[in-house]
Amino acid sequence: MKRKRYSKRVERLILHALNEATRIGFIPVKPGLEGVTEPEGTEIIVGGKNTVINWSNAGRGGLRFNVWWDYTPERCSDSLRKGRLRDHTGTMPDVSSSTRRTIVGLCAGCSLCVLEDGSIQLSRDSEFIVEYVRNDTVHLLDELPDVEPSGYSAPGRRKSDITNEPRLHQQ
């Protein structure tokens, strides 16, 4: 897959998730992140797919925002769902790679800044970081419409750069 096309897909997904996160008030908007230390996660729907979004304090007024898209934990055992899959924080679900293939289609993230006035913006040098992509999920990203940031700013928004571009994983 061509790098530019791939990066645009991931950027579109993250912008959809960020728009929903700001719409529902999920991201803390305390100036300087005063008192915000514990990561949080929640489930939403993005593009008709179950999605986990989470954030963690990255220090110096920054947040790491993560998206687990096409998240279907019901595909694994009850005992696993009652244990490790209840934790919706981290860059990816805390499971083996073979289990990951069955429960999530894509894991990606970016950096956010919480400004002194409490507003949120994509970090100026923010890259959209892909942690994991399941091969049969990639084409589904094409169905997401283009979207503009809503409820946060994206200074100097340019064609995104993807880091950690993973090999596609066959299911």
In the chain, where are the structural domains located? 3-163
Would you list the DSSP string of 67-84? EEES--GGGS-HHHHHTG
* Pure H helices in 39-136: 78-82, 97-103
Q: What is the distance, to the nearest Å, from the Cα of residue 57 to the centroid of all Cα atoms in its chain? A: 14
What confidence tier does 14 reach under pLDDT thresholds 50, 70, 90?
Answer: very high
Contact 99, 171 (CB under 8 A): no
How many Cβ atoms are within 10 Å of 139's Cβ, its own excluded? Answer: 10
Q: What is the pLDDT of residues 124-163, one digit of tens each?
A: 666 888 888 988 888 899 889 999 988 888 876 644 444 4
* Predicted local distance difference test score (pLDDT) of residue 5: 56
pTM surpassing 0.85? no
Residues 6, 81: Cα–Cα separation, whole Å: 31
